Amino acid sequence: MTENALIEAARVSKAWPFREAQKLLKRYPQGKPGGAPVLFETGYGPSGLPHIGTFQEVLRTTLVRRAYEALTGGAPTRLVAFSDDMDGLRKVPDNIPNAELLSANLGKPLSRIPDPFGTHESFAHHNNAMLREFLDRFGFEYEFVSASDRYNSGGFDAALTRVLECNQAILDVMLPTLREERRKTYSPVLPVSPTSGVVLQVPVEVLDPATGMIRFTDEDGTVIEQTAFGGMSKLQWKVDWAMRWYALGVDYEMCGKDLTDSVTQSGKIVQVLGGRRPEGLIYELFLDENGEKISKSKGNGLTIEQWLTYGTEESLGFYLFREPKSAKQLHVGVIPKAVDEYWQFHGNLAGQALDKQLGNPVWHLLRANGGDAGAGDTVPVTFSLLLNLIGVLGADATAEQVWSYLGNYVADASPEAHPALADMVRAALATNRDFIAPTLQRRAPTPSEAKALKDLDNQLATLAADPTAEELQNIVYEIGKNEAYGFETLRDWFKALYETLLGSPQGPRMGSFIALYGVPETRKLIAEALES
């Protein structure tokens, strides 16, 4: 594949990362002026523990970044992961220890509240560290920027000056969008009280934009004159977002559907400041298993650690790639399918034409952190098949047991020879222990099902050593099609096998399962079912 071929294919690709990257090509047909890098930004509010909803924004933005680089033959780019840690804490998250410590500091900037975990300088520093730890683990290339650092150091003073100069014009944008009661207290600038340290929602009079001097009434009724610079204020959310775009020169930022109005108003404000609204994608929000929006404060979404306990890094990236404009549920039940689909797409990659490769999620995921398109290899056993095997072995199954059975099915079955499969075994053991084993319950076969099971046992007994999965599957098929056993469809036969042998309403391709589990062991399962 030549670079020119890739560029030409990328310019017409309908894969969503390329469609987003094409917006940037229209923004800068000749590249960004002066050869400056195109700046991508992701935003994060560290008011609660990071979850997949925060991580996905960095991944998806990186996918667009890499697509833009491919589209332009390697134009320079930067990615800034921005933490809004000057924001005042509005409520105490439900999933945080030492809640009374946070309650005593409500309203203060997140970076000036003690860490309830006792491990970092502040609550924001703790949550920022968690986010960075995972981004580093995944290999993202990014620059971390803290709002507190920029406000406190004076790094935003020039942009704050511009906001103060445009104070009335910004009010003209925002006030028509607010309820009458809110208009009375709204100010683009939120001063930090010199007495309590709380971020105040009070009217502010701008005295001198050049020095940042503002006037407001403190919580105790005292009229205060102080500078807005040096961390003595922050901006209202929509103004803050626009100021950040202006100060950093952001060219691309995506966000969730819940921020649609913010994008509109912040886009108007950044124009008032003299900047330009970035390009971006508005994506649908993740839902929990009950169809409710996931929330950092409720803690009802999966954490990154939970996904990686019951799934793999590759499956996480795959799930986040798919259909960003469609709402998707985010719970443990979606992980097995994501693991298997990732490897299906991975296996297809090498044999695909270039235009098909650019539409393959794995092509994008492999390139996200500087890799290439990969060799199109796959794993020898599906995750769903592993789950069925381990389900039969029980809640106390061990990795050693699993690898012993994998020896029936996989050449050179060892974690060292198959690292990707080893990761799947680890995740499958955890999933079985915590979610599957407690629910499995084998039922007794009906009389007709018992006859079919006896037939299966008799045929398995006559097989030569090491039958193939296909040979075993054909035996299962033929028994199911035998009218003497009364199955209306093959589906009824398979369901009977799953429920009587595996204790589950769903299951794997039985030929593959028998080959993996072993013919003698499968005959023992049949004997146990017939005795029940």
Residues 188 and 171: beta-carbon distance below 8 Å: yes
Residues 288 and 334: beta-carbon distance below 8 Å: no
**Contact partners, residue 2, CB within 8 Å, separation at least 6:** none
Task: Give the whole-angstrom CA distance, residue 239 versus residue 268.
Answer: 10
Task: Give the whole-angstrom CA distance, residue 397 versus residue 268.
Answer: 59
Residue with tokens 């991975």: 346
- CB-based contacts of 271-277 (< 8 A; 24+ apart in sequence): 272/166, 272/169, 272/170, 272/173, 272/242, 273/159, 273/162, 273/163, 273/166, 273/242, 273/243, 273/246, 274/162, 274/246, 275/242, 275/245, 275/246, 275/249, 276/245, 277/245
Angle between helices 447-461 and 519-531 (to 10 degrees): 150
Which class for 126: exposed (0-12), middle (13-18), buried (19 or more C-beta within 10 A)?
buried
Q: Kindly tell me the sign of the dihedral angle through the C-alpha atoms of 332, 334, 339, 340.
A: positive
Residue with tokens 């103004």: 239
Output the 3-class SS for 373-390. Answer: CCCCCCCCCCHHHHHHHH
Task: Give the whole-angstrom CA distance, residue 62 versus residue 134.
Answer: 15
Task: Look up residue 339 and give its two tokens.
Answer: 């693991």
Task: Give the whole-angstrom CA distance, residue 495 versus residue 492.
Answer: 5
Select from 270, 275, 269, 191 the least CA-distant residue to 230.
Answer: 191
Cα dihedral 239, 59, 140, 116 in deg (nearest 10): 60
Task: Give the whole-angstrom CA distance, residue 10 versus residue 70.
Answer: 7
Q: Which helix (H) or strand (E) holds 459?
A: helix 447-461
Which class for 34: exposed (0-12), middle (13-18), buried (19 or more C-beta within 10 A)?
exposed
Task: Look up residue 291 and give its two tokens.
Answer: 């169809």
Amino acid identity at 288: D
Residue 296 among known ligand-binding residues: yes
Q: Which helix (H) or strand (E) holds 217?
A: strand 213-217
Task: Give the whole-angstrom CA distance, residue 496 versus residue 514.
Answer: 15
Task: Look up residue 386 and give its two tokens.
Answer: 């592993």
Strand duo 213-217 + 223-227: pairing: antiparallel
Residues 388 and 432: beta-carbon distance below 8 Å: no
Please enumerate, by residue number, every residue annotated as part of a binding site: 296
Going by the annotation, the residues of the binding site for ATP are 296
